[in-house]
Amino acid sequence: MPLRDSYKNGPVGMQEAELERSRKVANRLVVVERTGSTNRDLVELASADPSGWPHLSVLLTDEQTAGKGRLDRSWQAAPGTSLAVSVLLRPDQLPGALPVGAFGWLPLIAGVAMKRAVAGQGVAEAELKWPNDVLIAGRKVCGILAELLPDASGVVVGSGVNLTMTAEQLPVPTATSLALAGVAAPDADRLLADYLASLSTLVYELANAGGDADAAGIRALVEKECATVGRDVRIELPDGTVRETRATGLDADGRLVVITDGGTASVAAGDVTHLRY
């Protein structure tokens, strides 16, 4: 995998130096022309050379051929139409302490950060669907997948953002892109810089509170930003069970709290659909 810490022929037709904002936020930013999976690559690189890949290191491409989403689904896009970004989070390099038990909040935080970055492109209808999909007018523009480093010293958070895809290029009918949402010229550098800045701040706040999402205000923030909370939803659980219910909030671990016949229950994983009645 050829790595380069330069920006010539980089994502979405970028020319050299067009990631100036993002470079100022990231502790290391590397572009690859194409790869199977930025998440897989960054996990391997960070594990092999921990000192060379500090907290908030970034690996990105505009041509990912074997990306994975939640529930091991495949994810790929036509070259130059999307941004595949993986960010390395090493909480042990921050003030405070973030126990492994609090790592579950990291993809939720990433969802909030990406929702804000998408809104910053001038998209009024950007919303966050639990656990970490970003939607525009109910259609998915970004998915997020977090992976733990083998030694549990950090987490790689991968995001795939549809930038300039046409309707014909969309992987599924329920997807969209910034261009289809009316953004005439998506600014990939601003999107990435905004995402990294927000992600960095929120992770710092969580770590500074020792991983206590309530003390850091993280649980309240994610609940406020998440459009799933307070909605009627359909949830397909990993075992294939389908449940229609109402989402009422998040528990202390970031799991979705839903109404059941016996009261409430927490859902750790599942495909969520927002229902419209």
Domain assignment present for residue 41? The answer is yes
The amino acid that residue 138 corresponds to is G
The answer as to whether 3 is a domain residue is no
Structure tokens at 96: 């405070």
Spatial distance between the Cα atoms of 80 and 76, rounded to a whole number of angstroms: 11
Confidence (pLDDT) at 65: 81
- Concatenated DSSP letters for 156-187? EEEEEEE-S--GGG-SSTTB--TTTTT-SS--
> Which parts of the chain fold into alpha helices (H)?
20-25, 38-48, 105-119, 188-208, 218-225
- Does residue 110 contact residue 144 with C-beta atoms inside 8 Å? yes
- C-alpha distances in Å from residue 29, one per residue of 19, 80, 85, 181: 9, 18, 10, 28
Answer whether residue 249 is part of any domain: yes
- Using the 3D structure, point to which of 205, 223, 241 is the last residue of a domain: 223
* Separation CA 150–CA 155 (nearest Å): 9
Residue 2: inside a domain: no
The reply to whether 5 falls in a domain is: no
**Domain co-membership, 217 together with 270:** no
Residues 41 and 124 in one domain: yes
What are the tokens at 16? 């050299």
Same domain, yes or no: 109 and 208: yes
261 CB-side CA count, 13 A: 1
pLDDT at residue 107 in the model: 96
Please measure the distance between the N-terminal and C-terminal CA atoms of the chain and give it in whole angstroms.
49
Q: Is residue 20 part of a domain?
A: yes
Q: Are residues 137 and 267 part of one domain?
A: no
Same domain, 233 and 219: no
Residue 6 lies in a domain: no
Residue-level pLDDT at 171: 86
pLDDT at site 67: 55
Residue 238 and residue 180 in one domain: no
Q: Yes or no: say if 65 and 74 are a contact pair by the CB < 8 Å rule.
A: no
45 and 135 inside one domain: yes
pLDDT for position 84: 95
Same domain, 137 and 261: no
Examine the domain organization and report whether 118 and 16 are in the same domain: yes
Strand boundaries in 17-125, DSSP class E: 28-31, 57-61, 67-68, 74-75, 82-89
Q: According to the model, what pLDDT value does residue 202 have?
A: 98
Q: How many domains does the chain have?
A: 2
pLDDT in single tens digits along all 277 residues of the chain: 445 454 334 444 444 457 899 999 999 999 998 899 999 999 999 999 999 999 999 999 988 886 555 545 555 567 789 999 999 999 999 988 899 999 999 999 999 999 999 999 999 999 999 999 999 999 999 999 999 999 999 999 999 999 999 999 998 889 999 999 999 999 999 999 999 999 999 999 999 999 999 999 999 999 999 999 999 999 999 999 999 999 999 999 999 999 988 899 999 999 999 997 5
Structural domain harbouring 192:
11-223
Note the pTM of the prediction, 2 decimals. Answer: 0.90
The secondary structure of residue 130, as a DSSP letter, is: T
